[in-house]
Amino acid sequence: MTELLQIKAVNKRFGGLVAVNNVSFAVREREILSVIGPNGAGKSTLFKLISSFLNPTSGEVLFREERISGLAPHIVARKGVVRTFQETTIFKGMTVRDNVIIAHHLRSNASLAGFYLGTNTARRDEDEFGRSADEIIDFLDLGTQRHEIASTLPHGHLRALGIAIGLATNPTVLLLDEPFAGMNHDETVRAVEMVRGVRKRGVTVLLVEHDMPAVMNISDRIVVLNFGVKIAEGTPKEIQENEKVIEAYLGVEDETIGF
Amino acid sequence: MKRTRNILVVAVFLLVVLVGVPWLIEATGRLDLYYTLTSVALLSIASAGVWVTFYIGRINIGQGAFALMGGYVSAILVVQYGVSFWLTLPLAGLFCAAASVLIGLPILRLRGVYFAMVTLVLTEVARLLALALPITNGAKGMVSIPLPGGISIFGLTILPDFAALPNPRPAFYLVSVVLMALCFAALYRLVHSRIGKLCQSLQQNEELASSIGVNIAYLRVIAYAFSSFLGGLGGAMFVAISQSIYPSSFTVTDSVNFMLNCFLGGLGHVFGPMIGTFVLYFGWDFLFETGEFQLLIFSSVLIALMLFLPNGLLSLRLFGKKQG
């Protein structure tokens, strides 16, 4: 299997704090890889480093063997590495459909001037975006909310809309930031199916997550961080049996972790 | 269906402002209204520019700077280089757009009140520059700027020589209204094309916009340049009418008014700045009778309007129009 994304000896310091310390791993084509770790393990920082919302202090991230660290986020998105956000980062004032349509921006063939003048290319793009948006909306079961203003959607649907926005960019790798956070059991089950569906569309998924059962259930492979250091990497089974991982979790939380 | 209705609305509007209003003015003999309405038209062009910056999520209190800049560019080109005013009009707009790219590149990274403050300072900087630069003639300003000449193509007169007209006021009115109509048509198209959606995406969440591949820095600069172009255009036309320009022709008060026009008319409506300018300008004049209480009543009404109609006058939906 080809390695799509390579994270190579990535470091990130904030002043004296080392948030991510010499982390290396690779994401293979069409797999679901999860990054887990206790609070403050550096997951979110790592996530931002991969999507180029932050630049690493040292080390680099490669996509298809090409360095993407240091590029502007919109350029990285254009190359096919697209992130979603925690919580409810959507275009709140627009309808669900407009949210998804606008996210097709990357696919447009027409220039801004073309859109302004309404050239044929621009009109073809608009038609195509509308059709594609409707397909994605149906795929994520948002059909009944199509014309509602996004800010009025319930929590679970907002998350689905976030993923829809990500999918609309036609990504090669979709980075999901805690897609199951704040969800109850039923919602999580549905969200897990959603992520599986995303992979079925040929998209490689890298997710950062807290929810252990969901991660164990969905991932092909798991990378575990603790205090910014990678302490384990492997299949869900291997991770469950890894002593370092158990220690890391039990050392931080008293409650049962759930696996 | 919608297209037919739009064409009808535009046709009626043009008929009213180009034929109806002049007829009424001539019939009632209120010739001063020409100047007032011309001012409204030009100020609404500059306000439309401010509206564009609101549309990308930036509070712009600096449009006065570009109106002043546009005015001086036109005046200098006409007086010192003998360029036809009609040519200086787009040139003034383009000059402002270019300047705003240079200014915008660093300052558009700022958001909220920080951007607003910098733009506010910009107006003051423009005034001080106009005072200091030799080419602008300092505090004395530039006066007796010649009236615009005519335009003719193949012997066909499109615009008459304004200096040869017995009273250039109606001509200025008609030109300004046509200019306003063109600017708002351009703005309408912008908002209803994909660019409008992209601007909205910036307004609502820049990080998300960037994550879906929108070049936010580029789009912000484009929008700001368009905004300043309109400011320069309005300023240049104003100077042609008053035939003079001073460093105090456009001040911080004007910048604030351009912003208020947008608030009042409605930030969610393309024609908000037009309605806002009209109401604000006439509202102010109307309150003249109240003498010393003018400002007090005026500001109280404005505050009340913002409290009770936070989305502007056009949110009243006078035409029963539904937002698509």
In this structure, is the dihedral angle defined by the CA atoms of residues B207, B211, B217 and B220, taken in order, positive or negative?
Answer: negative
Q: State whether A115 and B195 contact (CB < 8 Å).
A: yes
In this structure, is the dihedral angle defined by the CA atoms of residues B106, B108, B114 and B115, taken in order, positive or negative?
Answer: positive
Nearest CA in chain B to A170: B212
pLDDT surpassing 60 at residue B319: no
Which residues sit opposite A176 in a β-bridge? A207
Angle between helices A120-139 and A155-168 (to 10 degrees): 140
Q: Which of B229, B225, B224, B219 is nearest to B194 (CA)?
A: B219
**Domain assignments of chain B as residue spans, ordered by start:** 31-252
Structure confidence by residue, pLDDT tens digits, A229-244: 999 999 999 998 888 8
Residue A107 shares a structural domain with residue A185: no
pLDDT surpassing 80 at residue B315: no
Nearest CA in chain A to B203: A91
Question: A116, A140, A170: which is the final residue of a domain?
Answer: A170
Residue A24 shares a structural domain with residue A94: no
Question: A142, A170, A198: which is the final residue of a domain?
Answer: A170
Query: Quick check: helix, strand or coil at residue A148?
Result: coil
Tell me which residue in A74, A116, A125 faces B214 most closely, judged by beta carbons. A74
pLDDT surpassing 70 at residue B117: yes
Q: What is the pLDDT of residue A61?
A: 95
Burial of B140 (0-12, 13-18, 19+ CB in 10 A): exposed
Vertex B207 angle, CA B263 and A59, to 5°? 155
Residues above pLDDT 70, as percent of chain A = 95
Which residue type occupies B269?
A: H
At A28, which CATH number? 3.40.50.300
Q: State whether A77 and B213 contact (CB < 8 Å).
A: yes
Structure confidence by residue, pLDDT tens digits, B135-159: 988 889 999 899 888 887 777 777 8
Structure confidence by residue, pLDDT tens digits, A63-112: 999 999 999 999 999 999 999 987 678 898 899 999 999 999 888 888 88
Q: Chain B: nearest CA to A194, how far in angstroms?
A: 20
This prediction's pTM: 0.87
Average pLDDT for B262-269: 87
Position of tokens 């209705």? B5
Q: State whether B213 and A105 contact (CB < 8 Å).
A: yes
Structure confidence by residue, pLDDT tens digits, A3-31: 899 999 999 999 888 999 999 999 999 99
Residue A72 shares a structural domain with residue A180: yes
Average pLDDT for A101-126: 86
Structure confidence by residue, pLDDT tens digits, A56-76: 999 999 999 999 999 999 999
Q: State whether B204 and A115 contact (CB < 8 Å).
A: no
Residue A205 shares a structural domain with residue A243: yes
Phi, psi of B215, rounded to the nearest 5 degrees: -80, 90
Residue A187 shares a structural domain with residue A155: no
Q: Please report which helix (H) or strand (E) contains residue B9, including its range.
A: helix B2-15
Q: Please report which helix (H) or strand (E) contains residue A225, including its range.
A: strand A221-226
Query: What's B16's DSSP letter?
Result: I
Residue A189 shares a structural domain with residue A162: no
Q: CA dist A14 to A10, A53, A208, A229, B193, Å? A: 14, 14, 21, 15, 42
Residue A242 shares a structural domain with residue A125: no
Position of tokens 């300018």? B277
Number of domains in chain A: 2
Range of the domain at A50: 1-80+174-259
* B322 confidence band (pLDDT: 50, 70, 90): very low
Angle between helices A185-200 and A155-168 (to 10 degrees): 10
Structure confidence by residue, pLDDT tens digits, B188-235: 999 988 899 999 999 999 989 999 989 999 999 999 999 999 999 999
Residue A179 shares a structural domain with residue A258: yes
Which of 214-243 (B) contact A at CB < 8 A?
A: 214-217, 219, 222
Residue A65 shares a structural domain with residue A106: no
Q: What is the pLDDT of residue A251?
A: 64
Residue A152 shares a structural domain with residue A45: no
Residues above pLDDT 90, as percent of chain B = 61
Kindly give the residue spans of alpha helices, DSSP state H, lying in chain A. Answer: 43-50, 73-79, 96-102, 112-117, 120-139, 155-168, 185-200, 212-218, 236-241, 243-252
Average pLDDT for A122-132: 90
Disruptive mutation site among B208, B221, B226 for chain A (greatest number of A CBs within 10 Å): B208
Alpha-carbon distance of A12 to A21, in angstroms, equals 7
Q: State whether B211 and A73 contact (CB < 8 Å).
A: yes
Residue A180 shares a structural domain with residue A238: yes
Q: What is the pLDDT of residue A48?
A: 92
Residue A62 shares a structural domain with residue A99: no
Please write down the HEC assignment for all residues of A114-145.
HHHHCCHHHHHHHHHHHHHHHHHHHHCCCHHH
Question: A139, A170, A201: which is the final residue of a domain?
Answer: A170
Residue B299 forms contact with A (CB below 8 Å): no
